[in-house]
């Protein structure tokens, strides 16, 4: 490829990045961003018609047009987010013991989408009037919308999985070697979503199988695969807040979230003892150690 063609490609991408930056910074909205890209394409088509007999210039125009067209198609789904909620709120949900008597509690967060609210304070006041225990409120800016759009495209291209209770049930059942009725019942609930209950369900299943015992109350969050490897989950700040509000003294999280959680703990000074694991077996050993420590303390007190 000629040097001039490389320069043309770089300039085309820089042109796109300039307006992308303006969009992410809330200077222009989705429609104006897409309109600018569309006008640019029309202008390039006109240039192509004008210079179609000049081979070198025509090649540069084709390169630039191809790049802008691909980027325009990539950004086109933004139209679907033009009327996105004004705010997101995360609210308290009572931790759930999937297997009664296990002492292992799944931690979920209630996400609420609110439209046409003027401020975070207005959202908090509205939800408080509805007796909803609000943990945090975020204004939906265009940077957040852009991230949502990118994740959706990755899911369409099968480059990122959309986690679901069904996938969680499958992974837990494969790890345990069977699918019990309590597992089906828990994941069929309407308030269960995503895959963050995977680790807690695997631990509950191991207790049900008689692999170990637990006398403590422990909050658990983390997704797993069929081999029992533990992976990161979201909304960690809110999950820690829920654990503390409920009075649960211990929490087990994925090791992939450990660095993030260390920062959160300093920020909110939560009175919760948090442990991280990378495999279900680590969590089993951890729980056994905590129980043994408690038994020894009770023995000497």
Q: What is the pLDDT of residue 163?
A: 66
Q: What is the pLDDT of residue 1?
A: 53
Q: For 35-54, what is the mean pLDDT?
A: 94
Q: Which of 115-119, 128-132, 222-226 has the lowest mean pLDDT?
A: 115-119
Residue 118 has a pLDDT of 87
Short-list 250, 255, 249, 247, CA closest to 282: 255
Q: What residues contact 35, with CB distance under 8 A and at least 6 apart? A: none
Residues 107/248, Cβ–Cβ less than 8 Å: no
Comparing 245-249, 266-270, 275-279, the range with the smallest average pLDDT is 266-270
54-63 contacts at long range (C-beta below 8 A, 24 or more positions apart): 56/4, 59/5, 60/4, 60/5, 60/8, 63/5, 63/8, 63/9, 63/12
Instruction: Give residue 161's pLDDT.
Output: 66
**Which residues partner with 279 through β-bridges?**
229
The total of other beta-carbon atoms located within 10 Å of residue 193's CB is 16
* pLDDT tens per residue, range 121-172: 999 999 999 999 999 999 999 999 999 899 889 888 877 666 677 888 899 9
CATH number for the domain running over 93-109+162-300:
3.30.230.10
Looking at residue 178, its pLDDT comes to 87
Residue 191 has pLDDT above 80, yes or no: no
């Amino acid at each position: 490829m000629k040097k001039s063609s490389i320069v043309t490609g770089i300039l085309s991408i820089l042109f796109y990045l300039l307006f992308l930056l303006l969009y992410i910074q809330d200077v222009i909205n989705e429609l104006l961003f897409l309109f600018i890209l569309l006008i640019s394409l029309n202008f390039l088509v006109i240039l192509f018609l004008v210079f179609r007999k000049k081979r070198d210039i025509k090649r540069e125009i084709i390169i630039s047009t191809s790049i802008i067209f691909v980027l325009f198609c990539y950004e086109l789904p933004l139209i679907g987010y033009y009327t996105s909620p004004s705010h997101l709120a995360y609210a308290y949900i009572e931790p759930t013991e999937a297997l009664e008597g296990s002492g292992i509690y799944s931690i979920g967060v209630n996400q609420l989408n609110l439209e046409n609210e003027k401020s975070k304070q207005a959202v908090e006041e509205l939800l408080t009037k509805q007796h909803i225990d609000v943990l945090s409120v975020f204004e939906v800016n265009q940077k957040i919308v852009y991230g949502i759009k990118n994740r959706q495209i990755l899911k369409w291209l099968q480059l990122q999985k959309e986690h679901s209770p069904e996938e969680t049930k499958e992974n837990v059942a494969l790890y345990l070697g069977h699918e019990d009725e309590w597992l089906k019942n828990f994941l069929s609930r309407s308030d269960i979503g995503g895959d963050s209950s995977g680790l807690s369900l695997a631990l509950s299943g191991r207790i049900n199988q008689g692999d170990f015992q637990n006398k403590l109350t422990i909050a658990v969050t983390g997704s797993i695969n069929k081999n029992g490897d533990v992976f990161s989950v979201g909304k960690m700040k809110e999950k820690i807040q829920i654990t503390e509000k409920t009075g649960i003294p211990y929490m087990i999280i994925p090791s992939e979230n450990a660095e993030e959680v260390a920062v959160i703990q300093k920020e909110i000074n939560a009175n919760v003892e948090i442990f991280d694991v990378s495999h279900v077996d680590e969590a089993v050993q951890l729980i056994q150690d905590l129980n043994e420590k408690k038994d020894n303390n009770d023995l000497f007190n």
